[in-house]
């Protein structure tokens, strides 16, 4: 069935111990201890990082791997990075010449996009962990988003090859046997528009990896190597059973999910694509082979992120609310075709890799909804609605940069209305307080309000989108990366669509320029960046929404009377 140019990807099935010998209580205690170690890493990173993109947006992943590079534990952060860090570890170790060239105290920096799955700004620090006798017990690793890594712009929507996107560190030791490698460090600092930020964030990644390593060593020592390994195998087997039992509950079949991206950043043509979800017993196969060829603009999604998006989607559906590990990924098979948008080859540009990846998640849910509508919500605003801002402060001459995703309406689901929050791929992220933002950045926010009539109607309605108005107090550069501005978020099971995303700049003379994807656009002082995030789709027929719920929405102002009369005429019927 496999043809020559199709590749199939599965999770690691190597074994290091004997699950049958593990006692279930010890297994659970080991799982807790590993998650606690990962959480300690996260806390160290968040508390020491310099960039809000790390400490507020949580644009990073922290995880612990075994020597076979299987995921042992991961702390809650950006789910999209969840399944990519093992590729970073593999490639980083390979790049320095393998385990033989790796020593206690080494720390490897790695950001080649085709190995990390991300853009060059996402840089992984990989820390091999050894016991006192020199045995390698695994790795702690942190991939974090750096504010600027000397690409053509701090954030780009229009690159045409990967070399425009930033400096590449192809697996280099920033620490050798515990000593800072000063040559590399100076390269890092030299290759950024905001050197203080990246130096601070690199340091935070190193500190986090070290904190994790010492906790990890404690866990292995406490249980002993053999008991630890047996427990790990039992933990993986348990996770695998959880996911398999979920897919057994979904009818076997071949389900096609459809989605469309607005553009590739270079041309305005829409990019429709399909992902096929095949369920057979407890196995699930996600087939990306029918997607378009590699695009000219940076909306290509390198393979590790395609696999990660697939794993994120599956974990969210079937992961039983647990922190994910390798076992959860075992039932999932991902099929790709090299040379396509979801398996691009170097040097294709991939700066906006995250956008196709999160569209893929929504498309996978679209497919699942055809098997079992109640298993998924209607579509959300469908994008993280990202804006990156930078410039030079007038008073001090200091360079500054900041960036953030923005909350959108979430899709309704059987049994509940949608809320308004960040996209599920950013679910651990906390949106910045306005008071902190205004103190830090040269803008005043005039408005942050839920938008009336932006929510999809239905028996359960979608969450409203938000209108954000940022009035600039100094000239500011922006890059916007906002998808799903052309199509309404879809409703499910008879529910209606919602307002799509929109973004642009309103100039002091009243002129408005729509800018869904733009790079290094100058917003002059006193102009207003207007971002209107999309609503969530509705679930179930609007005619089935109880009259009292419609009235409550009217009273709250989520909807206008006109909207209510149009979508919920039954609420105005006599008697």
- Which tokens belong to 174? 């920033």
Return d(Cα 162, Cα 116) in angstroms, integer. 13
CB of 428 to another protein, least distance (A): 5
Q: Minimum distance between the CB of residue 1 and another protein, rounded to whole angstroms?
A: 32
Nearest CA to 106 among 118, 116, 117, 97?
Answer: 97
Nearer to another protein, 44 or 527 (CB): 44
Residue 93 or 364: which CB sits closer to another protein?
Answer: 364
Q: How many CB atoms lie within 10 A of CB 162?
A: 24
> In this complex, which beta carbon is closest to another protein, that of residue 335 or of residue 412?
412
Residue placing its CB nearer to another protein in the complex, 168 or 445: 445
CA quadruple 53, 54, 60, 61: dihedral, nearest 10: -160
Q: CB 433 → another protein: shortest distance, Å? A: 4
Token look-up 């190995």 returns 115
Residue 63 CA to chain centroid, in angstroms? 15
| Residue 186 or 196 having the CB closest to another protein | 196
**Please, what is the minimum distance in Å from the beta carbon of residue 501 to another protein?**
15
Contact 60, 84 (CB under 8 A): no
Closest by CA to 167, choosing from 197, 194, 188, 184, is 188
Nearer to another protein, 232 or 335 (CB): 232
Question: Cβ of residue 100: shortest distance to another protein, in angstroms?
Answer: 30
Decide whether 55 or 351 has the Cβ nearer to another protein.
Answer: 55
Q: Which is nearer to another protein, 434 or 549 (CB)?
A: 434
- The DSSP line for 123-135 is EEEEEEEE-TTS-
**Cα–Cα distance for residue pair 305/15, rounded to 1 Å:** 25
Q: Nearest approach, Cβ of 86 to another protein (angstroms)?
A: 19
Q: Smallest gap, in angstroms, from Cβ of residue 319 to another protein?
A: 5
- Closest approach, Cβ 386 to another protein, in A, equals 13
**Pick 143 or 343: Cβ nearer another protein:** 143
Instruction: Locate the DSSP E strands across 332-378.
Output: 332-336
String of DSSP letters for 470-524: EEESS-EEEEEE---SSSPPPPBTTPPP-PPPEEEEE-TTS-EEE-SEEEEEEE-
d(CA 187, CA 150): 11
Give the list of residues 6+ apart from residue 327 with CB closer than 8 angstroms, or none.
235, 236, 237, 238, 239, 240, 243
Residue 161 C-beta: closest distance to another protein, Å:
32
Shorter beta-carbon distance to another protein: residue 46 or 299: 46
Contact yes or no for 480/513 (Cβ under 8 A) = no
Residue given tokens 């790709």 in the structure block = 336
Euclidean distance between CA atoms 455 and 489, whole angstroms: 9
For the bound state, the minimum distance from the C-beta of residue 507 to another protein, rounded and expressed in Å, comes to 20
**Which secondary-structure segment (H or E) carries 140?**
strand 136-145
């Amino acid at each position: 069935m496999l043809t020559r140019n199709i590749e199939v990807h599965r999770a690691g099935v190597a074994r290091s111990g004997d699950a049958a010998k593990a006692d279930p209580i010890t297994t659970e205690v080991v799982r807790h201890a590993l998650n606690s170690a990962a959480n300690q890493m996260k806390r160290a990173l968040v508390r020491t990082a310099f960039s809000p993109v790390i400490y507020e947006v949580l644009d990073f992943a922290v995880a612990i791997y075994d020597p076979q590079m299987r995921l042992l534990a991961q702390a809650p952060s950006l789910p999209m990075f969840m399944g990519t860090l093992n590729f970073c570890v593999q490639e980083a170790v390979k790049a320095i010449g393998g385990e033989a060239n790796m020593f206690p105290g080494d720390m490897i920096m790695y950001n080649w996009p085709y190995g990390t799955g991300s853009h060059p700004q996402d840089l992984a620090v990989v820390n091999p962990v050894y016991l006192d006798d020199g045995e390698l017990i695994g790795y702690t690793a942190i991939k974090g988003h750096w504010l600027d890594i000397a690409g053509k712009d701090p954030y780009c929507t229009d690159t045409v090859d990967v070399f425009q996107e930033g400096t590449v560190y192809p697996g280099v030791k920033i620490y050798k046997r515990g000593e800072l490698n000063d040559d590399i460090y100076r390269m890092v600092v030299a290759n950024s528009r905001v050197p203080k930020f990246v130096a601070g964030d690199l340091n935070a990644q190193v500190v986090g990896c070290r904190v994790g390593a010492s906790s990890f060593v404690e866990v292995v020592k406490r249980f002993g190597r053999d008991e630890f390994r047996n427990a790990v195998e039992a933990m993986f087997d348990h996770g695998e059973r959880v996911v398999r039992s979920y897919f057994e509950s979904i009818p076997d079949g071949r389900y096609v999910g459809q989605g469309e991206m607005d553009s590739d950043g270079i041309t305005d043509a829409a990019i429709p694509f399909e992902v096929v979800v095949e369920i057979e017993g407890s196995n699930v196969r996600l087939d990306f082979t029918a997607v378009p060829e590699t695009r000219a603009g940076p909306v290509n999604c390198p393979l590790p992120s395609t696999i990660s998006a697939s794993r994120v989607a599956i974990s969210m559906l079937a992961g039983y609310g647990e922190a994910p590990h390798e076992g959860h990924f075992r039932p999932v098979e991902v099929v790709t075709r090299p040379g396509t948008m979801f398996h691009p080859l170097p040097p294709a540009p991939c700066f906006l890799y995250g956008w196709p990846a999160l569209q893929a998640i929504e498309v996978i849910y679209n497919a699942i909804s055809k098997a079992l509508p109640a298993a998924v919500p209607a579509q959300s605003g469908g994008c993280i609605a990202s804006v990156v801002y930078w410039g030079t402060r007038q008073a001090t001459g200091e360079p500054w940069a900041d960036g953030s995703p923005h909350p959108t309406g979430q899709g309704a689901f059987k049994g509940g209305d949608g809320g308004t929050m960040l996209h599920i791929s950013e679910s651990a992220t906390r949106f910045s307080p306005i008071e902190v933002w205004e103190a830090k950045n040269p803008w005043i926010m005039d408005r942050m309000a839920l938008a009336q009539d932006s929510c999809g109607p239905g028996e359960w309605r979608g969450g409203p989108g938000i209108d954000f108005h940022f009035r600039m107090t100094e000239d500011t550069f922006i890059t916007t990366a906002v998808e799903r501005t052309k199509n309404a978020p879809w409703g499910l099971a008879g529910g209606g669509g919602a307002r799509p995303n929109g973004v642009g700049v309103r100039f002091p003379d009243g002129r408005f320029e729509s800018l869904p994807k733009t790079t290094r656009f100058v917003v002059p002082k006193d102009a207003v960046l207007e971002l209107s995030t999309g609503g969530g789709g509705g679930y179930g027929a609007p005619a089935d929404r109880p009259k009292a719920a419609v009235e409550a929405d009217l009273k709250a102002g989520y909807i206008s009377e006109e909207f209510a009369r149009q979508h919920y005429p039954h609420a105005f019927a006599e008697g």
